[in-house]
Structures are given as C-alpha cells and as structure tokens.
Amino acid sequence: MKRLITFRHAKSGWDQPATRDFDRALNDKGKRAAAVMGRHMRAIGMEFDTVIASPAVRVVETLDAMFDGYGKRPAVGWDRRVYLASSSNLLEVLQEAPDSAGTILLAGHNPGIEELVLSLSADAGEEEIRARSEVEEKYPTASVAELTFEVDHWADVDEGGGHLVRFVRPRDVDPALGPDRVS
C-alpha cells in the first residue's frame, strides 16, 4: 500500500508588488497555520518518509514552519516541476517516485493540489464523500489531505484509484485560522 499526503502552501502575502510570484513569502497568519498543522499532524500520527515539494519561497517557508510544529525536519526533494503544476504533472511526479517511499508528503500549489486529490480519490463511503465535498468546496491554504492506494508501485497510482482518508483545514484545528470575516 502507498500513502499520499498533499499539503498546500500556507497563506502568502502580496505586500511587495515587485516580487515575482515564485519569491512570495508567507504572511504571519500563514506561518501560524503551518506550525499548527505540523503539531496536528504529529498529534494524529500522520507520518511520511519522503517529501517532494515546489521550491517556491512560500512552500519552503510553509515546510519550515510545519516541521517546527511537527518536531522533525526530514530531507526535502525540491522539484521545480511541482511549482504551479497541473494535476496531471503532479501525478507524473508521483508515478516517478521510488517504490522505497511508502508515504509521500507532496507540498505545492492550487489548483493542482486540489485537482490531484479529486482526480485520485473515488467516491467510496460516507466519510470519503464528505471529505471530497469539502475539497471540492475549497482546498484552503495550509490544508492537508491524506489518500491511500492499494498498490505496491507509485507508477500504478492512477485516477480514481485512491481513497481519501481525511481532509484537514487549519480552521478545523484552530477556528482563529479560519477565513477573515468582514463585519
């Protein structure tokens, strides 16, 4: 069995208009959300042995904050193909992963991450349908989805072949990290 954890980068800022998209940094709320998600992932026993990530600054900073919260700092495979990748490109990256990796944490961007989760998961059971519905509604920044696949090789992971085990948004862990409300 193979397991995939997708992690969308945390909230970044647009306060420096001359900055290239690739170089955008996290804002304070994003840093808090990433650390909270790391602590939550550790608390629920969500483990991974391989990390593949976009090298964009906001992803690098998201993983730094998440690892601080998680309490471990594993090596990261920075892959430029993950930067703003489509679902099909992300699937290709996964299918090329070494079979020695049992669980991959894939950190990147929307809409590719959201579309990947939806394309890989099947509608099987009430909990999975509920989780898919939440992903379809929105895959917010710093959210995590976990999928399992009954395969021995990453090359065999394909559309509709996975089961969405869980989908966790920062606001599910800490309501203060929910969407900003205008009064």
| Nearest CA-CA partner of 142 in 5, 6, 4, 7 | 7
Q: Residue 109 and residue 99: Cα distance in Å, rounded?
A: 24
* Secondary element (H or E) of residue 53: strand 50-53
What angle is formed at CA 128 by the lines to CA 151 and CA 70, rounded to 5 degrees?
75
CA distance to 35, 167, 173, per residue, from 131 (Å)? 23, 6, 15
Pairing assessment for the beta strands 144-149 and 162-168 based on DSSP bridges: antiparallel
SS3 137: helix
7 phi and psi, to 5 degrees? -135, 115
Q: Residue 24 and residue 147: Cα distance in Å, rounded?
A: 29
Annotated ligand binding at 58? The verdict is: yes
Binding-site residues for substrate, in ranges, read 58
Binding-site residues, in ranges, read 58
